[in-house]
Amino acid sequence: MSHVEVGRLTYVLPDGRPLLNDVSFRVGEGVKAALVGPNGAGKTTLMRLIAGDVRPVEGSVASSGGLGVMRQFIGGIRDGRSVHDLLLSVAPDRVRDAARRLEEAELAMMEREDTKTQMRYAQAITDYTDAGGYDIEVLWDTCTIAALGAPYDRVKYREVNTLSGGEQKRLVLEALLRGPDQTLLLDEPDNYLDVPGKLWLEQALRETPKTVLLVSHDRQLLANAADRIVTVESGGVWVHGGGFATYAAARRERNERLDELRRRWDEEHAKLKRLVTMLKQKATYNDGMAPAYHAAQTRLRRFEEEGPPEVAPKDQLISMRLRGGRTGKRAVICERLELSGLMRPFDLEIWYGERVAVLGSNGSGKSHFLRLVAGEDVRHTGVARLGARVVPGHFAQTHARPELRGRTPCEIVMTEHARLKNEAMKALARYELAGAVAERRFETLSGGQQARLQILMLELSGATLLLLDEPTDNLDLASAEALQEGLERFDGTVLAVTHDRWFAASFDRYLVFGADGRVYEAPEPVWDEARVVRER
């Protein structure tokens, strides 16, 4: 049996702000539930509460079947740590404890080899065996072959920081999905995975009998793999028993129902208050009305003690006013362009108003291409130039903007775009970055908040060519929808690198950076380009 149950959970942030209030829900055996909600609503905190990393103010958490956890930043692995350390960080507690004692005994053996130390070492080996340590190493061999293409013994001492983010995620997912724990908490497991990796994850989630609670912003993955949607918003939680396809309609109907219940409650409350006031006035000159007056008072008091129904969560009102402007007919022209060592020479013309998605595997040169078009110094041969009146605006994938560190969103908008403070705050409010968020340093913002700020800066820059490198990676569902709506209204040209299948479906053209170094156009999105090359 495997399950997760949260009962009447309340959590307050260290600064005293309430985050979660009286939260209850259950994920039953074998269910694949997705945790969704706005950036900052408390999804990761809720996962940490279930994992036992932090303690609630009130309430309880229960799970069964053993708990395997993939945290948002997997394993907290420091520099110098190995593949062995990464795999051990997601192993069952009994294996981790036995491995720690074995490592301590091995170090002691290197310093001295007296009888006591040898006995301690022998006992540590026995304990590690009994805990299932050597059995799980056989499992890890399967995992490293699947994720890294090499057996465990060959890669166990390889430093984790030599692996790509996608390789780290795939390795941990292989270990958890194949491991003994029957209940899994996966916080953004799809981040850094390319589309073939996401397709593998979707299939693995559908096929595993384990109970899974995951956090993801990938709309296609949610549609393909989740059969329950658990929404965290306004400090509470509610569960949609269907999949993602019916989620938007279910949320809209729920909010309409809550609004109607609240309207009726307000009407009844006002009616009772009027009745009490009227009876009070009558009781002042007619003693016979006193019992009715006191009865009405009691009824009103009980009505108010029961409290009003739940208030419908406020929708995120993100308004991205990407304006653009008319440019020459040809927005981007490439002639025999080659980025050194990354691709073969290719020609390309992108016309004003087109939406072009740039697809391909990691490391194929897509981000370098965007940086070159944006005007950065990237080694190349051939020509890449912009058409008349084309003003590029670049959204960086990693949000690595050292010039923004130490500055608040309000300061950034005021200094970068010559806005008065009240104008800056109005613009930030449209991106839900006003209030306390506007006064926080850039590096302390969440990934989604940093992404929204970058998009706002593009809007204010007057760019007529948007160069977007994985813009939806850290955006919550509402922000991603707002970006797509903003791009539909944008009077200009869009060139976007993406692994987001839902996002890519709205584009006109697909430019594929092939695994063989060839750059070509395809009529439909090509996600597993390596397979295309093999089959060609």
Average pLDDT over the chain, rounded to whole? 89
pLDDT digits (tens, 9 = 90+) for 219-272: 999 999 999 999 999 889 999 998 999 999 999 999 999 999 999 999 999 999
The phi, psi pair for 475, rounded to 5°, reads -80, 135
Q: Is the pLDDT of residue 398 over 70?
A: no
* Average confidence (pLDDT) over 179-203: 91
Quote the tokens at residue 161: 């920081």
Query: For tokens 């916080």, what's the residue?
Result: 187
How far apart are alpha carbons 372 and 13 in whole angstroms?
43
Band the pLDDT of 84: cuts 50, 70, 90: very high
Which segment of 50-64, 275-289, 516-530 scores lowest on mean pLDDT?
Answer: 516-530
How far apart are alpha carbons 249 and 263 in whole angstroms?
21
What confidence score (pLDDT) does residue 474 get?
82
CB atoms within 10 A of CB 40: 16
DSSP per-residue letters across 187-230: ESTTTT--HHHHHHHHHHHHH--SEEEEE---HHHHHHH-SEEE
Look at phi and psi of residue 208 and say left if phi exceeds 0, alpha if psi is from -120 to 50, else beta: beta
Quote the tokens at residue 408: 């608040």
How far apart are alpha carbons 273 and 199 in whole angstroms?
59
Share of the chain above pLDDT 70, in %: 96
How far apart are alpha carbons 318 and 387 in whole angstroms?
31
Q: Is the pLDDT of residue 202 over 90?
A: yes
Band the pLDDT of 507: cuts 50, 70, 90: very high
| Highest mean pLDDT: which range of 38-47, 72-81, 484-493 | 484-493
Across 116-163, where does the E strand assignment appear? none
Question: Helix, strand, or coil here: 529?
Answer: helix
What confidence score (pLDDT) does residue 278 get?
93
CB atoms within 10 A of CB 55: 10
CB atoms within 10 A of CB 133: 20
Q: Is the pLDDT of residue 81 over 60?
A: yes
What confidence score (pLDDT) does residue 78 get?
53
- For residue 498, which of 198, 170, 148 has the smallest C-alpha distance? 198
CA 267 to chain centre: 40
Residue 332 in contact with residue 350, Cβ under 8 Å? Answer: yes
Quote the tokens at residue 425: 């705050």
Pick the residue with more confidence: 533 or 185? Answer: 185
What confidence score (pLDDT) does residue 75 get?
47
3-state secondary structure labels for all residues of 331-389: EEEEEEEEECCCCCCEEEEEECCCEEEEEECCCCCHHHHHHHHCCCCCCEEEEEEECCC
Note the residue count of the chain. 536
How far apart are alpha carbons 454 and 431 in whole angstroms?
10
How far apart are alpha carbons 27 and 228 in whole angstroms?
9
Q: Is the pLDDT of residue 285 over 90?
A: no
Helices (H) and strands (E) in the chain, counts: 18, 18
Q: What residue type is assigned to position 357 of the chain?
A: A
Question: Helix, strand, or coil here: 497?
Answer: strand
How far apart are alpha carbons 335 and 338 in whole angstroms?
9
How far apart are alpha carbons 299 and 276 in whole angstroms?
9
- For residue 448, which of 318, 264, 341 has the smallest C-alpha distance? 318
Burial of 193 (0-12, 13-18, 19+ CB in 10 A): buried
Residue 204 in contact with residue 173, Cβ under 8 Å? Answer: yes
How far apart are alpha carbons 50 and 301 in whole angstroms?
38
DSSP one-letter code for 38: -
Which segment of 135-139, 154-158, 515-519 scores lowest on mean pLDDT?
Answer: 515-519
Band the pLDDT of 535: cuts 50, 70, 90: very low
DSSP per-residue letters across 462-508: T-SEEEEESTTTT--HHHHHHHHHHHHH-BSEEEEE---HHHHTT-S
The phi, psi pair for 187, rounded to 5°, reads -95, 105
Q: According to DSSP H, which parts of 240-314 are helical? A: 247-283, 290-306
Pick the residue with more confidence: 205 or 446? Answer: 205
Which segment of 92-96, 159-163, 360-364, 378-382 scores lowest on mean pLDDT?
Answer: 360-364
How far apart are alpha carbons 132 and 154 in whole angstroms?
21
How far apart are alpha carbons 364 and 487 in whole angstroms?
26
Band the pLDDT of 530: cuts 50, 70, 90: low
The phi, psi pair for 342, rounded to 5°, reads -110, -30
Which residues, other chains included, contact 446 with Cβ-Cβ below 8 Å and sequence gap of 6+?
A: 39, 40, 474
Share of the chain above pLDDT 90, in %: 61
pLDDT digits (tens, 9 = 90+) for 290-307: 999 999 999 999 999 999
Across 16-114, where does the E strand assignment appear? 18-27, 32-36, 58-64, 67-70
Residue 168 in contact with residue 91, Cβ under 8 Å? Answer: no
How far apart are alpha carbons 411 and 171 in whole angstroms?
41
